Amino acid sequence: MPEDFNMLRMKVHTLVETDFKQAWAFRLDIDGQPSDMDIYVKDITFGPTEITNDPVKIGGRILTYPTGAEPVSLSMTVRDHRDEKIATFFDDWAAEVVNADGTVNLPGIKGSGYLRKAKRYALNEDGTDVLRNTWEVFPVQRGDVTESREDGMFLEFPMTFIQFRS
């Protein structure tokens, strides 16, 4: 069956006219961050929903039963300030989770301890932002730092947080 060129032309026109999100179009706000620090995110990855399950073999069939929900893991790439404010903030926060002697602190209850609210905002072209998600998280990893002498390159690195409760 020959392709309908009008249909293809309409699809291409729709793709060209679609207003896709641009890079660095997210902002993260974390309780306790310095007031003069903004965390802009190049890319963010998270699985908003994951239901764990257990398979049970009954005869020649397998039934799967839900057993719970997994916590959300947030991974993102951020661009740091010249004075490395974001890296310092993350490292100081991580030091509240695990001590230098290897002991682990308690998460705390209602504002005390290392649990903090992280809010993800989507940035609009008109300069406004919209709250998209809120999680109660703690830091897990500050990944490899990329520095380059190339013109226009920024200091950037990945950060990972995990939700305390699913």
What is the structure's pLDDT at 123? 81
Q: What is the pLDDT of residues 6-36, one digit of tens each?
A: 766 776 666 566 554 455 568 889 998 988 8
- pTM (2 d.p.): 0.73
pLDDT over 50 (residue 118): yes
Overall average pLDDT of the 65-93 stretch: 90
Model pLDDT, residue 21: 47
Exposed (0-12), middle (13-18) or buried (19+): which is 15, by Cβ within 10 Å?
exposed
- Contact in structure between 80 and 87 (CB atoms under 8 Å): yes
Q: pLDDT-based confidence at 146, cuts 50/70/90?
A: confident
When the pLDDT of each residue in the chain is averaged and rounded to a whole number, the result is 83
Q: Judge whether 23 and 44 are in contact, CB under 8 Å.
A: no
| CB-based contacts of 73, cutoff 8 Å, min separation 6 | 46, 47, 140, 160, 161, 162, 163
Alpha helices (H) in 52-139, listed in sequence order: 85-97
Q: 2: burial class by Cβ within 10 Å (0-12, 13-18, 19+)?
A: exposed
Q: Count other Cβ atoms within 10 Å, centred on residue 62.
A: 9
Q: Is 61 helix (H, G, I), strand (E, B) or coil?
A: strand
> At the top level of CATH, which class does the domain 21-163 belong to?
mainly beta
The predicted structure's pLDDT at residue 15: 57
pLDDT of 87-111, one tens digit each?
999 999 999 998 889 888 888 755 5
103: phi then psi, degrees, rounded to nearest 5: -75, 155
**If residue 126 lies in a helix (H) or strand (E), which one and from where to where?**
none
User: Where are the alpha helices (H) located in 28-149, listed in sequence order?
Assistant: 85-97
The residue-averaged pLDDT of 45-53 equals 88
